[in-house]
Amino acid sequence: MIIEHGAHYLLYGGEHQLAVASRVWSAGVARRYLRSRGKATMFICDVPFSLISDSWLSEYAGSALARWIGEKLTEPQVDDFGEESICIHADLPAEAIVGHYHPSKVRDPFSGSAWTKP
């Protein structure tokens, strides 16, 4: 989901970083500069349940159950499980990072709907 809908984070870094660079240069120059630094990287993490709040777990469980029931009662929808994001308020232990990869293409929101090589 992030590769298709949030690729600006992979290509240009955080919003604050892009805003600061855009104050120094024009927005186009800032994007070109930031994009030339580093490499788009996706980390694969096994987040321990102990770092996830009970309220988020309850909300996600309710959403998952509602989707499952909805699919049993109607036509199956596109599976969007795993497209949730969470916020943890603690350091993620290094052993929780179980892999990484560099996407070959991402959807750059600043170039329309075009897929681009990061």
Q: What is the pTM of this model?
A: 0.69
Q: How many domains does the chain divide into?
A: 1
Q: Whole domain around residue 105: which residue ranges?
A: 2-116
Contact 11, 111 (CB under 8 A): no
Residue 31 exposed, middle or buried by CB count within 10 Å (0-12, 13-18, 19+): buried
CA distance 69 to 101: 34
Instruction: Please tell me the predicted confidence (pLDDT) of residue 98.
Output: 97
Going by pLDDT thresholds of 50, 70 and 90, the confidence category of residue 75 is low
The residue type of 22 is: S
**77's torsion region: left (phi>0), alpha (psi -120 to 50) or beta?**
beta
